[in-house]
Structure 1
């Protein structure tokens, strides 16, 4: 004999045999012994004797509600049925556990609220399933009976509240504050009624159960209407919520009002609810993961674009070197970090003639060639095009003699470059002005000193390097 309701203080059965013998078997809350089975049942097996069983008597101590009593007298269940039952329960519990862990990881990584609510939903359904199927009795046998039944009711209604919380967190943005408050109030009401139904005395349980079932039905209908309304207004999250929760919502309503499942052995429809909720949590976890992945792609694209714009803001588009702004930023940073700081200003000699004789395209090619040559100068901390044909090189910790050598290396690299313009090869020379200052000096002081040295090199005949007077004293 199989009893599917365990919300009682005690159950006792009496097997009467044809020869007048009787055998009694009993269980009490907190002590089901070996008679509980995974699947939420208590089984009483009539011992085999030479004479058949003539009748069976069963008694209950403080049953919560007669309607909850579900008793079946059957032969030994076929092995395939037991395997199928174990498979459904095991798969459902595993999927719920994976969904719980997955959503917690997503919530931690993304720092977003919807995965938290989805994790709470999965956790409540998992707790309900562990209690209803009595799987938890493997590790906590003292919870057998009324305690498990009450907690299962509480977790089942809490799961509905978490589902509504997920809706508000994921799709409730476009909804008015007043309507959001009303939806949240319904979620709280469902949880409160669930707590009342779980812990109220047996005499009041029918009224509490009716109120709870009516509230769940109203919440399901109302939430469906809101999702459809928001979907029509372009709320994609409301559409996703409707798709993901429709099947478990229908399964819950079917189990409440039909009190059975689709399969013949699914009394109460709990296997239907477990399977629907398990598949829903996995599907919804995938949807949330895809949505967050799309958000991450958009964020990475925005960051890449921002990085590109920042780089372009300090880059000379013709040569690819730092522009004046970017070069000045590098100089100012180095002036705060090290001493001495050396600035070399380089100006291409008679560059106007190149443009006049060969055209601006050839002039641009010369500028690019000069930039390429300067890029290979050793010890350069930064290289930039400061405007027109003027370039800047930045170095640190150079002596005056090494600073002059550094400038001449740059000039020699420029002189070796040849740019083809039609049948002609263009080569240019450059003049350089060098300045060196200690840390803490501002950029303009460093720049003006190098600029004066550059003009001195121009006045001295070009194609040479000059050092600012302060370096001669160093």
Structure 2
């Protein structure tokens, strides 16, 4: 490679990560393309000597003179076209063990005659729907005559109703090289098709999780390219040999047009409507749709202006790809991450798809030509976009998780008292619902302690509201120490607190209430309000089946009122109408 080219490539690789990946892909493709001319001779159909005859071909046709100076007559598509490869066009290494590879299958019948120097002739034939053992992975037909001591003097090909001589590629090479190249071609195609299959499944599943259009279009593109690559490579003949020939080639062309439509829709919808001008999007999507509307019917033409129609569709394809490129660059400049990913992923496929017809048909990856380049480029694009979609999916998943955490935090804050950090009335009633439901079902016990800070108004009046807030916070800290799986504390409002005790510990509610009262009285509140003790009065009520929280609260509130009336700093259980209230003793 020239030094200037190496320096240029070095600058590209150093520029950015996407450029490194693209440069690496180009290097791989170049490395694959360069050695394909060894031990083989590629012969383009217009360079061969030819003759035409009607169908069926008269026996005298073989003896007629071939012309080597002009194109076949326009009517060859409806008749029989004879092509002759002279000995001068056959590589010396292939004259004793030749392999003839034909890279085109739009014909009704092909008869190949190998003529040797001793006058012997060997004929191999295939027809539409019956390729027998001649087909090979990579869209090729392989003809191997038996090895003979006499060298080849000519090869004659008789095509019946050949669709286009311009699309015909013929290679003559030695048998060992043909076997090696067929194996390498099969491995490349198999790997590319497997990647396309993975990309199809992955993007289809991603469309559901992201709820976006472009992964679905991308899945359509990958699936179409998977089908196109499999049919072009003739892999489908493993399970459906009768599809060999023209119909498969026509189906392949139709799928290619459909794939272009899917690809354009995927690339245009990925950045979002705001990233590109509406008019530009409509023009590109209209051209992409026209590729299918015009290309699919044209693909099934057997005669007529096939070459002209193919040229028109090729022009439409190039225009569509250029339009996609412009829209992606536009969206990229507007900061669309999806546009960056698609532009990087589509750089190589756009170049390949737009220039496939301009790539010399005698160049190409073990004879596969631009078709294998397209399959490899599609696999590259699918891999890159799968990685990009994975990053997007991970980012969206992270954002969704953060949003859920934020929402949960907001809900929790709405259930918490801002000053003390305890549950507020809403959070308290929500958290004790299961315990009260168990009581109503006869499967549990519960008791409610309702606390009120004694003489709290006096604290605010003498020491200020800041001191009052500090007292509430210190009381809350003491109550919070009693929180457990079966004890739920809360601040219900003002200086009023609550503690619900449920489960087995509900039976010891009076003892817990007394311990809580003592702990609050013993807490060092003197740092907050000197020379004034902080005590609480506690009303206790027990939950009973068939009663709501408001009933439990009303009973506890009534008991709390009795505790206040009896002198404060005490625990008073609720007394029913049939039993007198009993106060817990106040410590000395």
Q: TM-score, structure 1 length as denominator?
A: 0.87
Contact 1:106–1:115 under 8 Å retained in 2: yes
Matched, 1:227 2:328: yes
Whether the 8 Å contact between 2:450 and 2:499 is mirrored in structure 1 is yes
Q: Does the 8 Å contact 2:267/2:328 carry over to 1?
A: no
1:301 to 375, 398, 402: 402
CA RMSD of aligned residues (A): 3.3
User: Which segment is superposed worse, 5-14 or 397-406?
Assistant: 397-406
User: 1:68 aligned to 167, 178, 182, which one?
Assistant: 167
Structure-2 residue corresponding to 1:327: 428
Which residue number corresponds to residue 64 of structure 2? none
- Tell me what 1:375 maps to: 483
2:231 corresponds in structure 1 to: 131
Measured after TM superposition, the shift of residue 127 of structure 1 is 0.9
Is 2:496 the counterpart of 1:390? yes
Matched, 1:53 2:180: no
1:311 to 396, 412, 428: 412
Kindly provide the CA deviation profile for residues 138-192 of structure 1, in whole angstroms up to 9, marking residues without a partner as x.
Answer: 2222221112211211221111111112123312421455554443322221112
> Counterparts of 1:262 and 1:51 in 2: how far apart (Å)?
31
Q: Equivalents in 2 of 1:35, 1:131: separation in Å?
A: 16
Q: State whether structure 2 residue 451 is matched by structure 1 residue 346.
A: yes
Q: What is the alpha-carbon distance in structure 1 between the residues aligned to residue 432 and residue 241 of structure 2?
A: 74
Q: What does the per-residue CA deviation read over 1:192-243, in whole Å, with 9 as the maximum and x for residues that have no partner?
A: 2221222122223223212211110111122222222333333333333222
Question: Shift of residue 312 of structure 1?
Answer: 0.8
* Conserved? CA contact 2:446–2:506, under 8 Å: no
Instruction: Give 1:352 deviation, angstroms.
Output: 6.8
Which residue does 2:217 correspond to in 1?
117
Is the Cα contact below 8 Å between 1:129 and 1:274 reproduced in 2? Answer: yes
Provide the residue aligned with 1:166 in structure 2.
Answer: 266
Distance 2:248 2:110 in 1: 16
The 1:85–1:332 alpha-carbon spacing in structure 2 relative to 1, beyond 3 Å, is closer
Task: Tell me the SS of whatever aligns to 1:108.
Answer: helix
| CA distance in structure 2 between the aligned counterparts of 1:468 and 1:167, rounded to whole angstroms | 73
Tell me: CA distance 1:183–1:426, structure 2 relative to 1, closer, same or farther (3 Å). Answer: farther
Partner of 2:138: 39
Deviation of the 1:324 alpha carbon: 2.6
With 277-286 and 66-75 compared, the bigger mean Cα shift is at 66-75
Equivalent pair of 1:254/1:261 in contact (CA under 8 Å) = no
Distance in 1 separating the partners of 2:352 and 2:510: 85
Aligned to 2:24: none
Question: 2-side partners of 1:15 and 1:262: how far apart?
Answer: 25
1: CA distance, partners of 2:385 / 2:362: 23
Deviation at 1:281, TM superposition (A): 0.6
Going from structure 1 to structure 2, the CA distance change for 1:426 and 1:12 (only over 3 Å counts) comes to: farther
Distance 1:369 1:134 in 2: 78
Q: 1:127-206 counterparts in 2 under 5 A?
A: 127-174=227-274, 175=276, 179-206=280-307
1:463 aligned to which of 562, 569, 588:
569
2:281/2:327 contact within 8 Å kept? no
The residue that corresponds to 2:12 in the other structure is none
Q: Distance in 2 between matches of 1:398 and 1:469?
A: 22
**How much does 1:335 deviate?**
6.0
Q: Is the 8 Å Cα contact of residues 138 and 368 (structure 2) preserved in structure 1?
A: no
CA positional deviation for 1:410: 4.0
**Match among 111, 117, 123 for residue 12 of structure 1:** 111
Whole-Å Cα distance in 2 between the matches of residues 383 and 237 of structure 1?
A: 50
Report how many aligned residue pairs link the two structures.
Answer: 471
- Bigger shift: 2-11 or 181-190? 181-190
Q: Provide the rounded CA distance (Å) in 1 between the counterparts of 2:477 and 2:342.
A: 60
TM-score (norm 2): 0.72
Say if 2:365 and 2:372, in contact at 8 Å, map to a contact too: no
Deviates more, 1:340-349 or 1:298-307: 340-349
The answer to whether the 8 A contact 1:11-1:58 is kept is: yes
Gapped runs of 5+ residues in structure 2? 1-99, 581-588
Residue 103 of structure 1 corresponds to 203
Q: Which moved more, 1:238-247 or 1:437-446?
A: 437-446
Indicate how the Cα distance of structure 1 residues 68 and 420 shifts in structure 2: closer, same or farther if over 3 A, else same. Answer: farther
Decide whether the 8 Å contact of 1:335 with 1:440 is kept in 2.
no
Measured in 2, the distance between the counterparts of 1:264 and 1:29 equals 26
Mark the CA change 1:124 to 1:473 in structure 2 (over 3 Å): closer, same or farther: farther
Compared CA separation, residues 6 and 420, structure 1 to 2 (3 A):
farther
The alpha-carbon deviation at position 14 of structure 1 amounts to: 0.9
Corresponding residue for residue 128 of structure 2: 29
- Deviation per residue, 1:42-95 (Å, 9 max, x gap): 011121223222221111111111212212222225255344323321221122
Measured in 2, the distance between the counterparts of 1:36 and 1:149 equals 13
Structure 1 unmatched ranges of 5 or more: none
Find the residue that maps to 1:291 and give its secondary structure: helix
SS in 1 for 2:426: helix
Structure 2 contact 182–366 (Cα < 8 Å) conserved: no
**Cα distance in 1, alignment partners of residues 362 and 502 from structure 2:** 81
